[in-house]
Amino acid sequence: MEIAVTGASGLIGSALIAALEADGHRVRRFVRGGVAVPGSVVWDPIAGTIEAGALDGVEAVVHLAGEGIGEKRWSPEQKERIRSSRALGTSLIARSVAAMSQPPRVVLSASAIGWYGNRGDEVLTEASGPPQPSEFLSEVCVDWEAATAPSTDAGIRTVLLRTGIVLTPKGGALGRMITPFRLGLGGKIASGKQWMSWISLEDEIGAIRHVLGDDSVSGPVNLTAPTPVTNLDFTKALGGAVHRPTILPTPLAPLKLALGSELVTALLVNGQRVLPAALEASGYKFKHPDIASAFASLLAK
């Protein structure tokens, strides 16, 4: 199958491409600016331009591109970059495939569990609504998903990948945690009661591959393990996996100074208790269904 992938150089995108190519698929990488290397095409999601014929012959699109959420302080300008990089890029992909005489059979578009907002102990599935009142990350995700409307309206199977915290020692949240925890400096964040809905990178890729091949799946799909944990339990499990104590709480003041209180609160203090109802109903079997098995596998490599 010929598959177009945006966000190809990201943590998830690069792992997905390797898996798809190992499966025997042909991957067309979308790159922003510069000169395309063989097997890739150039697009500009903000300017709304895409290389002529970029999607010709493509049977599936996996759209993962978007500005990083947690790398920079949320200034008004950065917030707009976060929002526009998702909504504009997704709209461009959706409008482009909708206008094709022979469109791809399926579009998988990234989203995030931030859609649900900070909901305390409430158990959340794809049937749950967005938070009231709305929150910045939820608003971003709502706009992000709404931008796929042209694809859906054109009758193309469209799946919204609401991804949780992706765990891999190669990067992301776990990649940043490993060193302090191995030094015995890891600890709970704030009260430790906030829920963390996570998924191993292996299951993230496995779930995307599963959804690509299952024509019965459409609409929002939570890409999270079936056993979310509180931050305190996550902390204890990670400390146990690296054989280090987790007594002292993580100091938030330096993080808030560097990244701003709003970002730190949204990403570290708030949380969501999300279950992968649609994914499990479709028959997907997790390689790492619980945090202990995930850490045992991830940190053994």
Residue type for position 221 = V
Q: Which regions of the chain are under pLDDT 70?
A: 34-37, 301
pLDDT, position 74: 96
In a domain, 244, yes or no: no
- Residue 280: inside a domain, yes or no? yes
> Exposed, middle or buried by CB within 10 Å (0-12, 13-18, 19+), for 227?
middle
What pLDDT, on a 0 to 100 scale, did the predictor assign at position 87?
Answer: 96
The per-residue pLDDT for 51 is: 87
What is the pLDDT, as a whole number, of residue 177? Answer: 94
What pLDDT score does 252 carry? 94
CATH number for the domain that contains residue 281:
3.40.50.720
pLDDT for res 35: 57
Domain housing 18: 2-167+198-225+273-287
- The answer to the question of residue 239 being in a domain is no
Q: Could you tell me what percentage of the chain is helix, strand and coil, using 3-state DSSP and rounding each to the nearest 5? A: 40, 20, 40
83 inside domain: yes
pTM: 0.95
pLDDT for the residue 52:
86
In a domain, 39, yes or no: yes
Instruction: State the total domains in the chain.
Output: 1
Q: Output the pLDDT for position 301.
A: 57
pLDDT for the residue 83? 95
Q: Is 234 contained in some domain?
A: no
Residue 28 lies in a domain: yes
Q: Residue 32: its pLDDT value, please?
A: 84
Q: Is residue 296 part of a domain?
A: no
Check residue 80 and give its pLDDT.
Answer: 96
DSSP string, 6-49: ESTTSHHHHHHHHHHHHTT-EEEEEEESS-PPTTEEEEETTTTE
User: So what's the pLDDT on residue 134?
Assistant: 83
